[in-house]
């Protein structure tokens, strides 16, 4: 891993920050993408660079501006002159009831969850092929059946599943492409009621939320993992999908 460079999108907070800290501990150099969370991204970079100098770089970009993603790719490569892995973690998530959803919401949710990962994979493919790299996409356990009141988000994550499996074929054998489908890892930033939380926990055989470190360790596994593993969606939900997926 000495010298290997991993790009993590949406890296400043929550699961993205946990992934970044864990990969840094494994010896990777990181290019961390953020959009609005500048203070958190800068603090994270200071923290990690204090442990290993010049090991983390930051790049700011609004992923909904699809015409600017070619320039973003150039910035990502330019940080260290190479890219060995891509973690498509950035995601918009909020309710879009059918009666009130808008084209702007569609554009936002599909851009961050599907279109931006597509164009980042496209732009970074030559680097990933050159370095026999890997892509890890963050999907969702609700992607295929849909989450109530979140249909646009669910559709976008389903598109990301299709991208994962399609690219696993197109980029083989040089690049492995896999995905993680998390269940309830952290409570969403939009508040849930106590009843909603109880309902979700009751549906999880492990009887608790997951930990962001669970995601981070799985990302590491997929980046380093068996060279024969590609096109897979690893469900990380404490067994929740075994018993069905009740709404929040």
Q: Which residues are catalytic?
A: 153
- Which pair of structure tokens corresponds to residue 5? 């460079």
Contact 186, 167 (CB under 8 A): no
Comparing CA positions, the residue from 48, 53, 13, 47 lying closest to residue 33 is 13
| DSSP helix/strand/coil, 181 | strand
- Environment class of 48 (CB within 10 Å of its CB; exposed 0-12, middle 13-18, buried 19+): buried
Comparing CA positions, the residue from 53, 71, 152, 58 lying closest to residue 112 is 152
Q: How many Å apart are CA 44 and CA 46, to the nearest integer?
A: 5
Angle at 90 between CA 213 and CA 27, to 5 degrees: 45
Q: How many Å apart are CA 14 and CA 10, to the nearest integer?
A: 9
Contact 14, 125 (CB under 8 A): no
């Amino acid at each position: 891993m000495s010298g290997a460079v991993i790009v993590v999108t949406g890296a400043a907070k929550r699961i993205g920050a946990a992934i970044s800290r864990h990969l840094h501990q494994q010896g990777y150099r990181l290019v961390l993408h953020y959009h609005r969370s500048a203070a958190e991204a800068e603090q994270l970079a200071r923290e990690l660079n204090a442990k290993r100098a010049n090991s983390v770089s930051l790049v700011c970009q609004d992923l909904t501006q699809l015409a600017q993603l070619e320039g973003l790719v150039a910035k990502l490569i330019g940080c260290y002159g190479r890219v060995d892995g891509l973690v498509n973690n950035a995601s918009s998530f909020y309710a879009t009831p059918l009666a009130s959803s808008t084209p702007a919401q569609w554009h936002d949710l599909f851009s961050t969850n599907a279109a931006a990962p597509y164009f980042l994979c496209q732009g970074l493919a030559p680097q990933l092929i050159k370095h026999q790299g890997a892509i890890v996409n963050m999907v969702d356990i609700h992607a295929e059946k849909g989450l109530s009141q979140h249909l646009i988000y669910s559709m976008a994550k389903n598109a990301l599943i299709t991208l994962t499996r399609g690219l696993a074929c197109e980029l083989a054998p040089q690049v492995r492409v896999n995905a993680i489908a998390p269940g309830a890892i952290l409570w969403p930033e939009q508040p849930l009621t106590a009843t909603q939380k109880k309902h979700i926990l009751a549906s999880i055989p492990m009887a608790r939320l997951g930990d962001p470190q669970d995601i981070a360790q799985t990302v590491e596994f997929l980046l380093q993992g068996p060279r024969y593993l590609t096109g897979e969606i690893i469900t990380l939900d404490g067994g929740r999908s075994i018993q069905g997926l009740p709404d929040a």
